[in-house]
């Protein structure tokens, strides 16, 4: 696998050297810091802090899952040109980040989880939360971008890395960070008020992406997935019984995952499937949209 990866990288670099495609765009961005991030919301974070000083590329394209993603030739070229890579803990990073670092020694990989205490992933059995274990250790929840409060920490880590790379613009980055933090705080207050009087504090999701969000606002997510896999018939029946007991009428799904079992649950409880997107690029606008959906359907 390692040999194949190096061959792909070599071919990408050969292509880069021989090709003159997009040269005008490349010249326009020559003075900007070339940054790569794992998922779309991170691009928004970096652009809010970096402003006109950054040019951001995203590894996982819209509609794709960070759990199953593998970099392609275009991403390899972007990585070769980049100065900074902001990782966030997406599942594909566990496999690829070391290879990416070795293939691009000039790339500074920054872990935006620095200073964040990760929650354990949870599954349910008879309505009781249980930690998910893998290889003898509890599996940590990677969905830190869905907590506005943790995004402030991530943005600070981004700011520090940009200042280290581009110290002449320290004041610019600090000013942008302060404005971003103010916008986050404003939305956080709005969400707290909006979600205060929901009919129920529990909600069903297919994929357990909303643990940090739920913690921030006193909610409880109940995932259909069991340890990252489709549930068996017994687990599905247990979940349906629990949902009926709690009066839950909505199942939230996202485009990156199958809705088959979600549909089964929704039909059994006399409820509905509602789509929400945790990976939209326009982060604050998307979070407002999601919260308004919660207000209407829960």
pLDDT in tens, 180-225: 999 999 999 999 999 999 999 999 999 999 999 999 999 999 999 8
53 found inside a domain:
yes
Q: What is the rounded average pLDDT of the residues 53-66?
A: 94
- pLDDT tens digits for 64-104? 889 889 998 989 999 999 999 999 999 999 999 999 999 99
Position 277 confidence tier, pLDDT thresholds 50, 70, 90: very high
129 found inside a domain:
no
pTM of the model: 0.87
Q: What is the rounded average pLDDT of the residues 108-129?
A: 83
Tokens at 262, concatenated: 């979600």
Q: What is the rounded average pLDDT of the residues 92-119?
A: 96
Position 153 confidence tier, pLDDT thresholds 50, 70, 90: very high
131 found inside a domain:
no
Is the per-residue pLDDT at 133 higher than 70? no
Position 7 confidence tier, pLDDT thresholds 50, 70, 90: very low
The answer on 178 and 278 residing in a single domain is: no
The answer on 208 and 61 residing in a single domain is: no
The answer on 43 and 151 residing in a single domain is: yes
**Per-chain mean pLDDT for the chain:** 88
The answer on 245 and 168 residing in a single domain is: no
Query: Domain range spanning residue 7?
Result: 2-116+142-188
The answer on 230 and 157 residing in a single domain is: no
Is the per-residue pLDDT at 239 higher than 50? yes
Position 231 confidence tier, pLDDT thresholds 50, 70, 90: confident
């Amino acid at each position: 696998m390692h040999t194949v990866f190096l061959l792909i990288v070599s071919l990408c670099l050969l292509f880069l050297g021989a090709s003159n495609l997009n040269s005008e765009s490349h010249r326009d961005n020559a003075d900007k810091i070339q940054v790569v991030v794992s998922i779309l919301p991170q691009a928004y974070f970096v652009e809010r802090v970096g402003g006109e000083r950054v040019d951001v590329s995203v590894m996982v394209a819209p509609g794709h899952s960070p759990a199953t993603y593998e970099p392609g030739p275009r991403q390899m070229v972007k990585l070769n040109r980049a100065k900074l890579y902001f990782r966030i803990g997406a599942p594909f990073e566990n496999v690829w980040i070391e290879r990416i670092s070795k293939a691009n020694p000039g790339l500074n990989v920054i872990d935006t989880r620095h200073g964040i205490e990760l929650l354990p992933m949870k599954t349910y059995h008879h309505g009781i939360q249980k930690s998910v274990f893998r290889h003898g250790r509890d599996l940590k929840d990677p969905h830190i971008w869905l907590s506005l409060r943790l995004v402030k920490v991530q943005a600070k880590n981004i700011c520090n890395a940009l200042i280290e790379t581009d110290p002449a613009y320290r004041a610019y980055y600090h000013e942008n960070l302060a404005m971003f933090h103010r916008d986050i705080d404003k939305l956080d207050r709005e969400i707290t008020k909006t979600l205060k009087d929901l009919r129920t504090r529990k909600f069903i999701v297919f994929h357990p992406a909303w643990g940090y969000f739920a913690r921030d606002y006193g909610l409880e997510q109940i995932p259909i997935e069991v340890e990252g896999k489709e549930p068996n018939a017994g687990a599905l029946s247990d979940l349906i019984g629990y949902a009926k007991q709690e009066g839950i009428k909505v199942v939230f799904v996202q485009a990156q995952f199958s809705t088959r079992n979600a549909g089964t649950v929704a039909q059994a409880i006399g409820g509905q499937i509602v789509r929400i997107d945790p990976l939209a690029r326009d982060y604050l606008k998307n979070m407002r949209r999601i919260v308004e959906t919660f207000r209407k359907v829960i």
